[in-house]
Amino acid sequence: MLVIASLALFSCEGPMGPQGPQGVPGEGMFWKYYTYTVKSQDWKLATTEDGLNTYYWYEFQNEDITDDLYLNGYVLGYLV
């Protein structure tokens, strides 16, 4: 409640100032997209250790998927 009241009482007034200088490019966001086509015969059948569940899997080989990306990044896969 105090935060809302302080924002209402101390909001900015007057015209907006000029645009500031361009900053130094930051590190962080880095995007790459890859499209893979996996044929039905390439999928491998696997079973859980208890033998109750089976599933298909395929392993993609890509040099850009490093340990750093695996630990600190984000890899998404979609089945279409």
Give me the residue spans of the domains in the chain.
33-80
User: Which residues make Cβ contacts (< 8 Å) with residue 54, sequence separation at least 6?
Assistant: 45, 46, 47, 48
Q: What is the pLDDT along the chain (80 residues), one digit of tens a residue?
A: 766 666 666 667 778 889 999 988 777 677 888 888 999 999 999 999 999 999 999 998 888 888 888 888 888 888 77
Cα(74)–Cα(71) distance, integer angstroms: 8
pTM of the shown model: 0.47
Q: Please, are residues 66 and 50 in contact by the beta-carbon 8 Å criterion?
A: no
Q: Which residues share a beta bridge with 36?
A: none
